Amino acid sequence: MQAIRFFIVICCGFQVFGHGELIINYPGKQPQQSSSSPIGKKILEMIDHAKISLDIAIYGFRKQPEILQALKRAKDRNVRIRFVIDRDFEGKNIYSDTPILNQVTDNIVSDYKFDFLEKLKESKFNYRPYWPKDESRLGPPQCVAYSISDHEIIQAVQASSTSFESRGAIMHHKFLISDDKKLLMGSTNWSNTGTGGYNANIAYYSEDPKFVLAFKNEFTQMFELERFHSRKKYIKTVMSESHSVYFSPQDRTSKKIIKLIDQASYNINIAMYFLTDKEIAYHLIEAHRRGVLIRVILDATGTANAYCKHPFLRRAGIALKIENWGGKMHMKAASIDKEVLVLGSMNWTRSGRYKNDEATVILSDSSLVNQFDIAFESFWRSIPEKYLFKWPNPESAYSLGSLSDQLDNDHDGLIDQVNPKLANTDHPPELVDIKTWSKRKDFPFIIGLEFNKKKVFVAPTHPEYKQLKKVRNYLKFASPYEAKLNGYRALQHKKHILNGQNH
């Protein structure tokens, strides 16, 4: 019966109606093994009230004995419990206590074998930069540039200081379905920092049958049909007047987010853990240029990532604060024009868009938006003004509570200890130099021109770049993405094809 229901939804899409409950965890002072946060309490309530089934998709599990005991009580009531979790190439989970879920059920499925397929696909990518990168940086280069005015471009080649191997895609969901009637989804991991209340998180609860069914079918893909990541079926989502749901990677969630950013006319508030997606950053900068008031709160650990786009957003003039709490800004949420709320498990990253299993809901409900905006305002005011420009080291006295929380917040292998090299650092060590160029100068732009009656763009790595600049009239673009949005396509060459996907 489940397989039949799954087929119907693929054909018809999801129409989601009805109101739900927004639940927000404000950042706490310390991690807690007690699941006493608002979201933790909701999870306990749903588990304890379950009579028939619990279908749970979570990234991992750590130091939450109250949730474990609630699951054991559900097992004793003969509630069917099923889990979908993440496992890496070695069959391990980033959260140390995940294996103890075997105490409550043998019905546990992971994405373990599918991660190898994603890693193989990544190895085929060509990361050839079209501007020279700092040779001391060993990570894959990413060329980033934005027009911040009609005459200026900001540009850099982002790359990590050390090389790294991808661990493949991740099963990054955080949702719970009780008795096929109740749903809780959002950004919260089941851990002492997540449901334990240390991190800022957001969740959405719904009893709407169509909403629940949408997540039930996502669970079915992974648990019963063993489809993860790019192997999941594409589901055409049909929007209702007020609510819709999208799953990554199959539903191209970022296109909807970009459309909402492009439609914004008044303001955008963003609370995000990771923001490394350069295309989303492009549209935020364009919204800022047309007068939309944008405020962004990012996580201190997330902004230490070499590919974070916060320095570009700041340089473009967008108001952006980096939190200085011990816990993380772990939300993945945004409000737009006081009318639309976007939330879920998906960070605004390329992996969130194209690789990981994620869920995002878009809610057109002014009361829910107002609830988020009130929380956002509280977060914003709690962060000192200096962090509009500076970076608080996430494992230091600058990040309150980080030196007594028994966590390695900056991932340097040291718990509650300041890295001496970063003790007085105002900027992440991975920050690259961003250059500002005038479009009037001879900078190696992406050029757009008419070629064989077609509008094409050419990057500096193209064999004919210098020749075409000399003999033809052309337009100047900051990036291939900007050129594509203006109707240009890559000029192909028999020895080199520039497709713009990895630039």
Q: Which range is least confidently modeled, 147-161, 202-216, 228-242, 397-411? A: 228-242
pLDDT at 502 over 50: no
Give 68's contacts (C-beta < 8 A, 6+ positions apart): 61, 100, 103, 104
> Average pLDDT, stretch 110-128?
67
Q: pLDDT grade, residue 19 (50/70/90)?
A: low
Name, in order, each residue with C-beta under 8 angstroms of 183's C-beta and a sequence gap of 6 or more: 175, 176, 177, 205, 206, 207, 211, 212, 215
Give the position of tokens 């107002």. 370
Tell me which CATH code domain 2-114+170-386 carries: 3.30.870.10
Query: Is it true that the peptide bond before 27 is cis, omega within 30 degrees of 0?
Result: no
**Total-model pTM:** 0.91
What is the tens place of the pLDDT at every residue in 405-439? 999 888 888 898 888 777 667 888 888 889 998 87
Asked if the model's pLDDT at residue 103 lies above 60, the reply is: yes
- Is a pLDDT exceeding 60 seen at residue 186? yes
- Of 374, 391, 404, 322, the C-alpha closest to 28 is 404
Higher-confidence residue: 342 or 496?
342
Place of tokens 């949005």: 485
Domain limits, the chain = 2-114+170-386
259 closest CA partner among 187, 342, 344, 186: 342
Q: How does pLDDT run across 437-486, given as a tens digit for each residue?
A: 887 777 788 989 887 788 999 888 888 888 888 877 888 899 999 999 99
In the chain, % helix, strand, coil (3-state, to 5) comes to: 30, 25, 45
Which pLDDT does position 422 carry in this prediction? 74
